[in-house]
Structure 1
Amino acid sequence: MPDRPQPLLQLGEQYTELLAALDRSAALRRALALLADGSEVAWVAGSDPMEELSIEQLIGHRTGVLRALQVPPGGGLTGKVHQSGRAEWVDDYLASPEITHVFDRHMSTEGIRRLLAVPLVRNGESLGVLAVGSRRYGAFGDREVEHACEVAAQAALAMSIAERARLTREIAVHEERRRLAADLHDSVGALLFAIGSGVADLADAASADPELRARLDRLQHQAADATTALRESLRTLRYSPATLALGVALRADCAAFADRTGIPAELVILDEDPPELPASRSDVLLAAVREALLNVEKHAHASAVTVSVRRSGPLLNVAVHDDGIGLDPDHRPGLGLTNVAEALGRLGGSVRVVSDPDGGAVWRAQLPC
């Protein structure tokens, strides 16, 4: 087989690079590879909607202590840089007075002597922190810091591009689902209507034969049930990916709660057409509901839980209602509820927990939609 022409090889390489740029994980791994050599470990800690950090990409590690590590606000150098928004480094991690030492055991286990961390920022939005740790003694120089900042800028750009690509794919899928829903409505919906009407006419004509009339009545009811099922399916197909994902995620959270606790948890969506939330708002709301379910699990002594979603004007209302022992008279919000209130408040939302006069407690969150 003859060798492929050089332009085709170059085109293939460019296509591979483009695909990697559209894949968040692959893009971050490439960025980390630009920083770490054989004696170094590097990671990207991404921030979630509650502004908490966790390590999502990691290379050069020799143990598992850093994998998926949660970083509290201001914790270690990574957490400090996330809060300060500027590059910082320590040349002797274990002895530095400039950072908290909540991760000394992790750094010692990995043999990391010094650490450099750079914020990932794109268009003023904080996306996380990129860090590189060296197992060699020494000091970070200006050139190393400058190189890390350049790589961080590339990584932030790659994360932004990957997010836009994801949104583009979601839009394409949504449009195809809408087209499919319209086709099914015009074809299967019309056919079911015709079948139902035809069976109704036959039933009227067969009034003299009770047995045949009963069989036709059953067919008519089955056609009506099929029409109702089709209508529900078409409604789901018309949901945007974001709206559909919110419902799927809430159902998954209810199922996980039930599996964990043995307490039944039901999701009730009270709107024919739930509003679409941006991913950032949806993620905050999901995190808040998980915190509410966790509180029910810990404190409520409930036998059943209901999660309801309802739109009221410009607000989306989500309630978690349990039938447990209710709130103590001297109830004070804990750290989890306080964090949820702050996260929702930053988006113009609110949360409150009250006792239900009929028993149990109701957690209610509102978020502009």
Structure 2
Amino acid sequence: MKSRTALLKEIAEFLNEETETYSMLDGALKRLVEGTDFSTGWIFFIDDEGSHQLISDYRLPDALEQNDCHYMTAGPCWCVSRYHQGKLTKASNIITCSRIVKANRQHPDGTADITHHATVPLQSGQERFGLLNVAAPHKTSYSEDELELLESVAFQIGSAIKRIFLTEREREIALTNERNRLARDLHDSVNQMLFSLRLTAHAAAANTKDDRAKSAFEIIEATSQSAVNEMRALIWQLKPIGLEQGLAHAIHQYADVLNLNVTMHINGLIQLDNKEETVVFRIAQEALNNIKKHAGTAEVEITINQLTAFSLTIKDNGKGFAVQSAKQLPTHGLANMRQRAESIGGMLFITSSMDTGTVVTFTLQEG
């Protein structure tokens, strides 16, 4: 076991070098557990609705890892509820943890003698992120020194989360500005040149009587038109076009660019802020790209609902694919969609099987 000062110094040095949230949480938790008498730890992120997500864990007992950490992810518990109510504001002993109790009932030999845990909020100023939890075998209460250590580590982690979030936001703004600049440049230069080339080839083909020349000009015209279409799709990738006229319009317009036939259903009044609208459009864009590339169908059904919560469903009856599990998506693009969804507190569900098509559903609860 390291001294408190040495451990806090080690964790602080590690956090100062980290730029990615998940690896930062995993590394800080690992150092905390290995540098103390705690045997395990886990971190929940908790949203404004009180829903929690197991974001990091280290050396969880076997019982708590059963069925993709079912006991840690399913249902409410005292510490998450108290946190959501604003009544859990400092490091505290949890007298009885319902998650550990349930796991112990089903797997009495699999909890590594863990019965109680300590918990502390992760926050930076007035901004709250979730809970840091730690436990040790045969321990029903944690000392003031241990709780003070947790407070210090939680303060370090909370500050690191805030720093990374701010850095990511600045990077996102810079990236958006650069994408907009590239989109303008491509539209004003390359796209216009390709369009002019297509018109010139068309006129030349109409005015020549030489069959070979006519055929060559027609090939140039067709190739130029294909390049124009590709350029338009690329510009759409860089900068969402048509969002100022509404999300449904922009999605439908992008589907037209891809030559997909969309049946659109809209229920309720769509009310999203600018960031949410852009993220939802990017998710739809990726889903439509996947249909164009892989589904083997041009028919798409899209449903947008916002009667209470917001939801977007994109369905095709194409080739489909085998989804191994919710955490094992077959392409980088699908993983990006899930990351985009989580970036605004939403959830993405993908259901598919071979030869039966794919359904992509995004949901976002009211803030």
TM interval, shorter chain, is: 0.5 to 0.7
Is the alpha carbon distance of 1:109 and 1:364 closer, same or farther for their aligned partners in structure 2, counting shifts above 3 Å? closer
Bigger mean CA deviation after superposition, 79-88 or 163-172: 79-88
The one-letter code of the counterpart of 2:301 is T
The one-letter code of the counterpart of 1:27 is M
1:174 maps to 176
Q: What root-mean-square deviation, in Å, do the aligned CA atoms of Structure 1 and Structure 2 show?
A: 4.9
1:110 maps to 112
- Deviations along 1:44-91, one digit per CA (max 9) or x if unpaired, are 11235764223221224353734655434532x443443344143235
- Deviations along 1:244-300, one digit per CA (max 9) or x if unpaired, are xx99xx9xxxxxxxxxxxxxx997789xxxx874369958xx8xxxxxxxxxxxxxx
- Deviations along 1:84-143, one digit per CA (max 9) or x if unpaired, are 44143235x4xx7x9994343578523213311122234544422111111133532223
Matched-pair identity in %: 18
2:275 maps to 278
Distance in 1 (alpha carbons) for counterparts of 2:189 and 2:125: 47
Bigger mean CA deviation after superposition, 29-38 or 51-60: 29-38
Q: Is the 8 A contact 2:117 2:140 kept in 1?
A: no
Distance in 2 (alpha carbons) for counterparts of 1:133 and 1:236: 47
Quote the offset at 1:234 in angstroms: 1.0
The reply to whether residue 223 of structure 1 matches residue 227 of structure 2 is no
Count, aligned residues:
268
1:293 maps to none
Is the alpha carbon distance of 1:175 and 1:212 closer, same or farther for their aligned partners in structure 2, counting shifts above 3 Å? same
Is the alpha carbon distance of 1:281 and 1:205 closer, same or farther for their aligned partners in structure 2, counting shifts above 3 Å? closer
Quote the offset at 1:305 in angstroms: 7.0
- 1:55 is paired with a residue whose SS is strand
Distance in 1 (alpha carbons) for counterparts of 2:214 and 2:240: 40
The reply to whether residue 127 of structure 1 matches residue 160 of structure 2 is no
1:88 maps to 92
The reply to whether residue 234 of structure 1 matches residue 240 of structure 2 is no
Q: Is the 8 A contact 1:177 1:238 kept in 2?
A: yes
1:306 maps to 301
Distance in 1 (alpha carbons) for counterparts of 2:365 and 2:141: 48
Is the alpha carbon distance of 1:132 and 1:100 closer, same or farther for their aligned partners in structure 2, counting shifts above 3 Å? closer
Distance in 1 (alpha carbons) for counterparts of 2:39 and 2:312: 46
Q: Is the 8 A contact 1:118 1:148 kept in 2?
A: yes
Q: Is the 8 A contact 1:74 1:82 kept in 2?
A: no
Q: Give matches, 1:44-59, under 5 Å.
A: 44-47=43-46, 51-59=50-58
- Unmatched runs of 5 consecutive residues or more in structure 2: 1-10, 252-259, 266-271, 284-298, 318-344, 346-360
- 1:148 is paired with a residue whose SS is helix
2:21 maps to 24
- Deviations along 1:306-355, one digit per CA (max 9) or x if unpaired, are 224699xxx988466899xxxxxxxxxxxxxxxxxxxxxxx9xxxxxxxx
- Deviations along 1:209-246, one digit per CA (max 9) or x if unpaired, are 45643553343233223213212211221239xx9xx9
Distance in 2 (alpha carbons) for counterparts of 1:149 and 1:56: 19
The one-letter code of the counterpart of 2:176 is H
Q: Is the 8 A contact 1:81 1:88 kept in 2?
A: no
Quote the offset at 1:180 in angstroms: 2.7
Is the alpha carbon distance of 1:230 and 1:99 closer, same or farther for their aligned partners in structure 2, counting shifts above 3 Å? closer
- Unmatched runs of 5 consecutive residues or more in structure 1: 1-12, 251-264, 287-303, 324-346, 348-362
Is the alpha carbon distance of 1:317 and 1:17 closer, same or farther for their aligned partners in structure 2, counting shifts above 3 Å? closer
Is the alpha carbon distance of 1:72 and 1:128 closer, same or farther for their aligned partners in structure 2, counting shifts above 3 Å? farther
Q: Is the 8 A contact 2:64 2:100 kept in 1?
A: no
- 1:34 is paired with a residue whose SS is helix
The one-letter code of the counterpart of 1:58 is D
